[in-house]
Structure 1
Amino acid sequence: MAADSDGPVRSAETDKLWNETSVDPVELHLGKDSGFTLRAYRMSDTLPGAKTAPEPEPEEEEDVEEPRGKHRDADDAEPEDEDAPEPDAADFADEEEEAADDDEDALDAEPEEVPVFLTRKGKLLVFREAEALVEYVKANDDHDLAAIEEYAELQERLTAADIACDEDDIYELDLVVANLRGGQEGWEPELLIKAAEVGRDLGYALKNDSIIASLAPGSPLDDLDETFRVVVDGGMRGRFAKRRLKRSDSQQAAIAWRGVIAKINDHVEWRG
């Protein structure tokens, strides 16, 4: 089973591996199960599919039914208004320029740092045993994490002893709903901040719009997350944030988080 937060201490060699490959092992606790996966952060323009122009959709011809017994031909067409002004070629030039700008924006979108997990066909691969994770990585490259430049090096160097997670990379999502339902006095900001962090990462990596929307800027869960961060920072703003927390609806927050965790669970593929 996955190690707890008091698990093995990382060796200097393990730290060197993760630092040089810019990958980290992640420990996830989800309900009755827990296990390990891998996560990296990379610039979006270094990953497959970056800066691809959208293919134009073929225009569909409207099937217009002609009135029975009547056939309109060129002689029946309504005559053009001879007094109508000629179209200005500059208008068409402006439209073409705007369309070109839109295509260029799609191609030249500003690169951003994005999370990449051990995901395959819309599923997050999570391994209950460190040895199983290492065996899979060494034998497979048909998943999303294989797109990073350092993957071949990771395959060569990774051992089971290296699957020792930093405390910041251990996410106890199984405790989130119970903690929220316990009332504001018992809320653990660090637990809930980390849950929002990995939730956003997984929503992006799994391309799940529902998870993304639940934690998007301006959403109730995002507002709660921001308040927790202010509380952790302390000071005068932290005291005001604590007052705001008292007005939060803990039951609604728990229900919302239960939905997010259920969606994450739906996209997890557990391995040995």
Structure 2
Amino acid sequence: MAAESGGSARTAESDKLWNETNVDPVELHLGKDSGYTLRAYRMSDTLPREDVVVEPTKSKDDVEDGPDVGDNPEDEDENEVPDEIDFLDELDAAPEEVPVFLTRKGKLLVFRDPESLAEYVAESDDNDLAVIEEYGELQKRITAEAIVCDEADTYEMDLVVANLRGGHDAWEPELLIKAAEVGRDLGFALRNQSIVEALTSGSPLDDIDESLRLIVDGGFRGAFARRRLRKTGSEQAAIAWRAVIAKINRSVEWRGTARAESTEETSGDSAE
């Protein structure tokens, strides 16, 4: 079930808030649950050093034989052992724009309703997004009514695997291109090297993404990309994406009112 929107359309006041803070609300659909978080893009040399360190994860087992993430993401393997890797030399040499999310202690905070997200931001600076200069202003001005996501910032990750399994003719370029976009962003922000590598330049999933973008652009290169894309196995692509989405799911901390009681009963944790 999709999360309820904070409003039918953005007001001039909410547009002003997001434009002046250079932050955007993001809506994520991840299998059994949906909700909202925040994302900003900043130059890497303006962030604390620990915010641009990416840690890889090594899984003891592949998730290829597990259930579809859209159905049971919690059933995927959770035995990940983090190793340290430092990309600071590369980033220091060439500062670049990087994503910063509402993350905390390696978890992405996603709120099931706009009210819970607005309340959390207004009351807490215990998260990685708080390092941006505009966070204090955001705390003063954020409201539930302002949390209305543009279509470009709404990601239906729960539809990706099924769409890929439908065959090349059924593939939806916008859905898959947007999934790759947010996947790369989350891999970096969560410091999850396995997600980063799965979507990095030259990887099979990146090749699919590049071909889809060429198809959308059209022309001769688009026609060539379409022929090349047909050589990609639908099932292999679905398996690879299922693994990425499983890792994202394991890195989400759900908060908010929807299903809160059942979540607290099983986890023993309560939202701050």
Q: TM-score, normalised by structure 1?
A: 0.78
Counterpart in the other structure of 2:245: 261
Mapped to 2, the partners of 1:115 and 1:133 lie a distance apart of 19
SS at 1:141's partner residue?
coil
The reply on whether 1:8 has 2:8 as its aligned counterpart is: yes
Aligned in 2, Cα 1:7/1:248: closer, same or farther, shift over 3 Å? farther
SS of the residue 1:154 aligns to: helix
Counterpart of 2:20 in 1: which secondary structure?
Answer: helix
- Give the Cα separation in 1 of the matches to 2:223 and 2:46: 42
**1:17·1:157 contact (CA, 8 Å) conserved in 2?**
yes
User: For the Cα contact (< 8 Å) 1:119–1:143, is it kept in 2?
Assistant: yes
* Aligned residue among 119, 143, 164 for 1:135: 119
Q: Secondary structure at the match of 1:165?
A: coil
Q: Deviations over 1:77-114 (max 9, x none)?
A: xxxxxxxxxxxxxxxxxxxxxxxxxxx96794221100
Q: CA deviation at 1:49?
A: 1.4
| 2:20 pairs with 1:36 | no
Where in structure 1 are there 5+ consecutive unaligned residues? 53-103
User: Letter of the aligned partner of 2:116 in structure 1?
Assistant: A
Give the greater-gyration-radius structure (CA). 1
CA distance in 1, matches of 2:96, 2:30: 29
Aligned match for 1:250, one of 226, 234, 238: 234
Following the alignment from structure 1 to structure 2, what is the Cα–Cα distance between the partners of residues 108 and 160?
A: 37
Secondary structure of the structure 2 residue equivalent to 1:34: strand
> Retained in 1: the 8 A contact 2:40–2:100?
yes
Q: Cα 1:239–1:107, aligned 2, differ >3 Å: closer, same or farther?
A: closer
Distance 1:106 1:251 in 2: 35
Question: Which residue is 1:24 aligned to?
Answer: 24
Report which stretch shifted further, 25-34 or 235-244: 235-244
Query: Alpha-carbon deviations, 1:154-198, whole Å to 9, x = none?
Result: 000000011000000000000000000000111000100000000
Separation in structure 2 between the aligned mates of residue 256 and residue 106 of structure 1, nearest angstrom: 28
Identity score, percent: 72
* In structure 2, distance between residues paired with 1:235 and 1:106: 36
The correspondence of residues 81-230 of structure 1 with structure 2, limited to 5 A, is 108-230=92-214
Corresponding residue SS for 1:214: helix
**2:82 corresponding residue in structure 1:** none
Question: Equivalent residue of 2:93, what SS?
Answer: coil
Aligned length: 220
Alignment partner, residue 48 of structure 2? 48
Kept in 2: contact 1:228–1:241 (CA 8 A)? yes
Q: Any idea what SS the aligned residue of 1:194 has?
A: helix
Distance 1:107 1:169 in 2: 26
Match of 1:80 in 2: none
Tell me the SS of whatever aligns to 2:181: helix
Q: Matches of 1:106 and 1:242 in 2, distance apart?
A: 34
| CA positional deviation for 1:3 | 3.1
Distance 1:109 1:217 in 2: 20
* CA RMSD across the alignment: 2.0
